[in-house]
């Protein structure tokens, strides 16, 4: 009798648990309304989160060409609800076989910044097209053709680039003007276009169609590959057909760790993001942050950032070639040792923790987050590095080439564009993937799930950290993406902050602890996050108000 009653009790709970196993609706947050809508179009056609991810990714390539695109790379973090599979599809660019670190030096043996960020030599072999094909084939439900259709339409029919895109064209005008293909596309009549200008890109529509019809080979082999190789050579680079034919995405096991009873699933190398995030959250796990005032808490968070950023440059590189102490760096025991080195009231000078600095990655990246009606999750960060990448468009292709070669430590001991030096683990070598900061992340707890990420160069990782901490404090996605931000990256030994991130009294108290603060005028990042409360069934999204076209929708 008791057993029967227990069974009836469990049966009464079942519908509720089943309801909680899937949200029934979907949430998408991306940097552009047209991209978010492209994702929903594909969901409405019967697609899942991964088809939607392909659609959003490709649409962003069209409508946000300064940030990411077919000529760049991406990390697709995937959680498949039906079997719990979690994987990072690594579509990071690779260095061509002809890579020679000396080619980036000037006559005096100094790093020539112009070569590492502008023109053909700056570009790695793109990974984004391979990712679109791979994700659609291995995780999607729809044919690639269907998921790419919204992006193809946008490229062919045109759209009005937003104020952010136009501002970026203005910033890179001089470099764009050096390249006939890039200026034909982005400088109509030789000038930075004004508001209301409609960008039609039939070449990009045709490139996407080629990928839709011929898959991976459409881009990486045959006539199209030949056209790319010739165009890159003309622009000063040195790709070969073999480089393109050899490109393949890698499926990597994510970095997984526990934080306050939740599973954090995040990007492994060649991202430095997941390891640094694990190190920081493992350190902070030892404190009850909720009991601390804002100054005490900021001090501890900054000390965690300082220690994680020191390690990331010293040890990390392409996992296909570099042996890394990943288990050690992400271990709670290691974090406990680091925590013990933190004085509760005094800043640790960075020069007392010797190490290297990683190159600071370019900020014109983009991130989108998706939860679908079945509970599948996709967190995708993709990039061409600096705005409009290398500012080279091979005629007839419709997309900019990345300038991801600058994410390598191009000259050991020499500062990169941001005045920072890097270690041998991330030296430029043929076939290697440069170290990245991109940190697409899931936080999965017994009741709630968060999907989060952002652009922002080397600040990506601390932004994701602050977003996660705010979520644990109870912030909704819209709040946590809008919060003011601060950042410390070991060197320079400074807490950089957005304007008004701290009150004058808080600044003074942090300075009294030995911290140096530097407040900037420019906002940072363009975070897009969604969450799902399995208890209430609620889905929410937030798109950073710093971006003019960002759109989070739940339907
Ligand atoms: N290029 C930006 C990053 O990979 O972090």
Write the CATH number for 519: 1.10.246.130
Same domain membership, residue 340 and residue 211: no
User: HSE on the CB side for 322, CA within 13 Å?
Assistant: 26
Ligand 1 pocket, residue 361 CB under 6 Å: yes
Residue 88 corresponds to which tokens in the numbers above? Answer: 């990072």
The catalytic position among 99, 330, 365, 397 is 365
Instruction: State yes or no: cis peptide before 356, omega within 30 of 0.
Output: no
Give the separation between CA 244 and CA 220, rounded to whole angstroms: 5
385-403 burial, b at 16+ Cβ within 10 Å, e below that, comes to bbbbbbbbbbbebbbbbbb
Mark whether 500 and 547 lie in a shared domain: yes
For ligand 1, atom 3: residue with the closest CA: 436
Residues 477 and 488 in one domain: yes
Which domain-ending residue is among 382, 403, 424? 403
β-pairing, 495-497 vs 517-519, is parallel
**Given this model, what pLDDT does residue 110 score?**
85
Helix axes 294-315, 273-284, angle to 10 degrees: 140
Dist. CA 476–CA 470, nearest whole Å: 8
Given a contact cutoff of 8 angstroms between Cβ atoms, the answer to whether 358 and 406 are in contact is no
What pLDDT score does 422 carry?
56
CA pair distance 248, 435, nearest whole angstrom = 17
Whether residue 429 is contained in a domain is answered as no
Domain check: are 330 and 370 in the same one?
A: no
Residue 438 Cβ contacting ligand 1 at under 6 Å = yes
* 391 and 489 housed in the same domain: no
d(CA 226, CA 232) in angstroms, rounded, equals 10
Give yes or no: residues 239 and 129 share one domain: yes
In short, whether 93's Cβ falls inside 6 Å of ligand 1 is no
CA 455 – CA 369 distance, rounded (Å): 12
Q: Is the CB of 365 under 6 A from ligand 1?
A: yes
Q: How far is the CA of 383 from the centre of ligand 1 (A)?
A: 6
Same domain for 308 and 396?
no
In short, whether 439's Cβ falls inside 6 Å of ligand 1 is: no
Exposure string (b/e) for 279-312, b if CB count within 10 Å is 16 or more?
bbbbbbbebeeeeeeebbbbbbbbbbbbbbbbbb
Position 13 in a domain: yes
Closest residue CA from atom 4 of ligand 1: 436
Residue 415 domain-assigned (yes or no): no
Beta carbons within 8 Å of 34's beta carbon, 6+ residues apart: 59, 63, 154, 159, 549
Among the three residues 403, 433, 454, which one is the final residue of a domain in this structure?
Answer: 403
Q: Which tokens in the block code for residue 12?
A: 């009464």
**Could you tell me if the CB of 389 is within 6 A of ligand 1?**
no
Using DSSP, state whether 145 is helix, strand or coil: helix
| Mutate which of 438, 441, 459 for ligand 1 pocket (most atoms within 8 A of beta carbon) | 438
Contact assessment for residue 259 and residue 443, using Cβ atoms and an 8 Å cutoff? yes
Tokens for 71? 């000529």
Would the CB of 407 count as within 6 Å of ligand 1?
A: yes
- Taking the C-alpha atoms of residue 54 and residue 308, their distance in angstroms, rounded to an integer, is 32
Instruction: Assess contact for 283 and 304: CB atoms under 8 A.
Output: yes
Residue 183 lies in a domain: yes
Ligand 1 centroid – CA 446 distance (Å): 32
Q: Is the CB of 272 under 6 A from ligand 1?
A: no
Bridge pairing between strands 255-259 and 262-266: antiparallel
What's the domain range around 17?
2-251+363-403
- Is ligand 1 within 6 A of the CB of residue 385? yes
- Ligand 1, atom 2, lies closest to the CA of 361
CA of 349 to the centre of ligand 1 (A): 27
φ and ψ at 487, to 5 degrees? -155, 140
314 shares its domain with 353:
yes
Q: Does 365 qualify as catalytic in the annotation?
A: yes
How many domains is the chain partitioned into structurally?
2
Selection from 146, 143, 129 nearest residue 216 by Cα:
129
165 ligand 1 Cβ < 6 A:
no
From 404, 409, 458, give the residue whose CB has the most ligand 1 atoms within 8 Å, as the site to mutate: 404
Provide the 10 A C-beta neighbour count for residue 541: 26
Pairing of strands 539-543, 86-91: unpaired
Judgement on whether residues 348 and 374 belong to the same structural domain of the protein: no
Nearest CA to ligand 1 atom 1: 385
SS3 string of 61-114?
HHHCCCCCCCCCEEEEEEECCCCCCEEEEEECCECCCCCCHHHHECCCCCECHH
Q: Which of 358, 440, 366, 439 is nearest to 402 (CA)?
A: 366
Give the pLDDT of residue 364.
Answer: 81
Give yes or no for residue 67 CB within 6 A of ligand 1. no
Residue 152 to residues 53, 71, 203, 273, Cα–Cα distance (Å): 15, 16, 10, 32
- Is there a domain that residue 433 lies in? no
Is residue 506 classed as helix, strand or coil in its secondary structure?
helix
The reply to whether 198 and 99 lie within a common domain is yes
407 C-alpha vs ligand 1 centroid, how far in Å? Answer: 7
b/e burial code for range 29-39 (CB count within 10 A of at least 16 → b): bbbbbbbbbbb
Residue 277 contacts residue 441 (beta carbons within 8 Å): yes
> Are residues 129 and 220 in contact, defined by beta-carbon separation less than 8 angstroms?
yes
Last residue of a domain, one of 388, 403, 418: 403
- Taking the CA of residue 363 as reference, the ligand 1 atom at the shortest distance is 2
First-residue to last-residue Cα distance in the chain: 45
From the CA of 384, give the closest atom in ligand 1: 1
For the chain, which ranges sit under pLDDT 50? 1-19, 416-421
- Does some domain include residue 438? no
- Regarding whether 381 and 324 lie in a shared domain, the answer is no
Cα separation, 84 vs 42, whole angstroms = 22
Question: Does residue 73 sit within a domain?
Answer: yes
16 Cα–ligand 1 center, Å: 42
* Domain membership flag for residue 6: yes
Distance, CA of 207 to CA of 397 (rounded, Å): 6
350 and 384 fall within a common domain = no
Structure tokens given for 144: 């690639």
pLDDT at residue 417, rounded to an integer: 46
């Amino acid at each position: 009798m008791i057993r029967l009653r227990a069974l009836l009790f469990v049966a009464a709970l079942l519908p509720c648990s089943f309801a909680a196993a899937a949200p029934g609706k979907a949430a998408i947050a991306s940097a552009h309304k047209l991209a978010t809508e492209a994702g929903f179009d594909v969901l409405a056609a019967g697609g899942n989160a991964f088809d939607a991810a392909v659609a959003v990714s490709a649409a962003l390539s069209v409508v946000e060409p300064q940030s990411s695109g077919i000529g760049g790379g991406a990390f697709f973090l995937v959680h498949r609800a039906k079997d719990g599979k979690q994987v990072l599809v690594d579509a990071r660019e690779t260095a061509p076989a002809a890579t020679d670190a000396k080619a980036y030096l000037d006559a005096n043996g100094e790093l020539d910044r112009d070569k590492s960020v502008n023109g053909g030599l700056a570009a790695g072999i793109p990974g984004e097209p391979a990712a679109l094909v791979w994700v659609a084939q291995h995780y999607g439900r729809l044919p690639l053709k269907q998921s790419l259709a919204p992006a193809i339409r946008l490229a062919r029919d045109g759209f009005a680039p937003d104020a952010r895109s136009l501002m970026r064209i203005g910033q890179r005008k001089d470099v764009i003007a050096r390249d006939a293909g890039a200026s034909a596309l982005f400088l109509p009549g030789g000038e930075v276009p004004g508001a209301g200008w409609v960008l039609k890109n039939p070449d990009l529509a045709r490139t996407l169609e080629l990928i839709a019809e011929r898959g991976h080979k459409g881009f990486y082999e045959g006539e199209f590959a030949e056209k790319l190789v010739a165009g890159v050579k003309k622009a000063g680079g040195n790709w070969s057909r073999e480089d393109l034919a050899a490109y393949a995405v890698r499926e990597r096991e994510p970095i997984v760790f526990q934080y306050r009873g939740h599973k954090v699933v995040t990007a492994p190398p060649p991202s430095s993001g997941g390891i640094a995030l694990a190190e920081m959250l493992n350190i902070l796990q030892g404190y009850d942050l909720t009991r601390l005032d804002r100054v005490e808490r900021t001090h501890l968070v900054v000390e965690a950032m300082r220690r994680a950023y020191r390690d990331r440059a010293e040890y990390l590189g392409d996992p296909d070639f570099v042996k890394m102490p990943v288990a050690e760096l992400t271990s709670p025991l290691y974090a406990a040792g680091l925590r013990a080195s933190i004085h509760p009231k005094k800043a640790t000078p960075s020069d007392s923790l010797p190490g290297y600095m990683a190159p600071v990655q370019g900020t014109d990246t983009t991130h989108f987050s998706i939860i679908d009606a079945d509970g599948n999750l996709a967190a995708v960060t993709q990039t061409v590095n600096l705005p409009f990448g290398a500012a080279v468009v091979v005629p007839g292709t419709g997309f900019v080439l990345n300038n991801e070669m600058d994410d390598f430590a191009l000259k050991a001991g020499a500062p990169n564009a941001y005045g920072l030096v890097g270690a041998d683990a991330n030296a430029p070598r043929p076939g290697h993937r440069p170290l990245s900061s991109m940190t697409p992340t899931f936080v999965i707890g017994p009741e709630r799930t968060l999907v989060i990420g952002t652009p922002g160069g080397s600040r990506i990782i601390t932004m994701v950290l602050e977003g996660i901490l705010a979520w644990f404090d109870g912030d909704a996605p819209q709040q946590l993406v809008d919060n003011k931000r601060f950042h410390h990256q070991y060197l320079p030994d400074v807490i950089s902050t957005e304007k008004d991130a701290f009150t004058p009294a808080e600044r003074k108290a942090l300075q009294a602890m030995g911290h140096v603060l530097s407040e900037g005028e420019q906002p940072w990042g363009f975070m897009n996050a969604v969450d799902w409360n399995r208890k209430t069934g609620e889905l929410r999204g937030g798109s950073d108000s710093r971006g003019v076209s960002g759109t989070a929708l739940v339907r």
